[in-house]
């Protein structure tokens, strides 16, 4: 189904929710149960929910005595190997009271480009959803190299939403909405709705940023949202602290209205809308 407005989110059949590293790792790990409670509420009313979660490297850093995100690929891979295990454990621990089982799905850009891998990924996710499992998707940072990465998990979430034909994509971070220019700058105003044919060139979202635990920024969210909305998927960008309100259809965040078309999934999916 096509959701024309954020108020229709409670009626969605299938939703992809993405959360960033800074929202659920380190001192922010307390937010995992809050996030899970909102996902479980949607799950209980019959919504098929997929979670795209960053945070493997950030979660693994303390176990390797790292105070900041490593720059070399081998240490990033090592941190991801440790952190992914801990991250999924924390999610499962929070999901258990709701009698929901998590299923881990790790993807690389090659998996989206190769038709056989893409088909296998879609089939596996469909089966997990059919069994009532909550898939937790992340980039396979342990094997991914700089040359074949998605770039950020906002883009991964948009591609996953397209892969599984989701009705909506919810991008969660530490901002309540997208602004016409970086918040705090003079003249910055929150954007309530971006229509499918709106020109985004007048908005100064800012360049991609890298903080101590992850990558991303407003620009990557706008790009990913446009990638999903161009395929007929409504997208909401808002704060992780407002996930319950978001999934309940509250008038919050920035809504990217979906295009009227849902293109067939042909060709290298990872390059669509690039």
Q: Provide the CA 274 distance to its chain's centre, in angstroms.
A: 17
54 is in an annotated binding site: yes
pLDDT for 237-272, tens place per residue?
Answer: 999 999 999 999 999 999 999 998 665 554 455 444
> Per mean pLDDT, which of 35-49, 57-71, 249-263 is the most reliable?
35-49
pTM, 2 dp: 0.90
pLDDT for 132-186, tens place per residue?
Answer: 999 999 998 788 765 446 667 899 999 999 999 999 999 998 889 999 888 888 8
221 is in an annotated binding site: no
Give residue limits of the domains in the chain.
Answer: 6-264
Which residues does residue 54 pair with via DSSP β-bridges, in sequence order?
none
Q: Residue 32 region, left (φ>0) first, then alpha (ψ -120 to 50), else beta?
A: alpha
138 is in an annotated binding site: no
140 is in an annotated binding site: no
For domain 6-264, give the fold.
Carbamate kinase (3.40.1160)
141 is in an annotated binding site: yes
Task: List the beta strands (DSSP E) in the chain.
Answer: 14-19, 48-53, 102-107, 134-139, 168-173, 193-194, 209-210, 215-216, 234-239, 254-256
């Amino acid at each position: 189904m096509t959701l024309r407005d954020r108020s229709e989110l409670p009626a969605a059949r299938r939703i992809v929710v993405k959360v960033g590293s800074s929202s659920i790792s380190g001192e922010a790990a307390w937010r995992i149960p809050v996030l899970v409670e909102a996902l479980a509420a949607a799950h209980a009313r019959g919504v098929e929910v997929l979670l795209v979660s960053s945070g493997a490297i950030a979660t693994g850093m303390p176990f390797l005595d790292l105070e900041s995100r490593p720059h070399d690929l081998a240490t990033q891979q090592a941190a991801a190997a440790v952190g992914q295990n801990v991250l999924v454990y924390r999610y499962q621990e929070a999901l258990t009271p709701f009698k929901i089982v998590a299923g881990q799905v790790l993807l690389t850009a090659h998996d989206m480009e190769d038709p056989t891998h893409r088909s296998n990924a879609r089939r596996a996710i469909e089966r997990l959803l059919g069994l009532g499992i909550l898939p937790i998707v992340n980039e396979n940072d342990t094997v991914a190299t700089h040359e074949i990465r998605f770039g950020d998990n906002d883009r991964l979430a948009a591609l996953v939403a397209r892969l599984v034909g989701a009705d909506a994509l919810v991008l969660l971070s530490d901002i309540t909405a997208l602004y016409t220019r970086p918040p705090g700058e003079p003249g910055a105003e929150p954007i309530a709705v971006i229509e499918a044919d709106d020109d985004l060139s007048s908005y100064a979202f800012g360049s991609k940023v890298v903080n101590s635990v992850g990558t991303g920024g407003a620009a990557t969210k706008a790009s990913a949202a446009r990638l999903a909305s161009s395929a007929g998927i409504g997208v909401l960008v808002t704060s992780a602290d407002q996930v319950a309100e978001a999934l309940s259809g509250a008038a919050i965040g920035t809504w990217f209205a979906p295009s009227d078309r849902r293109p067939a999934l042909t060709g290298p999916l990872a390059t669509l809308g690039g």
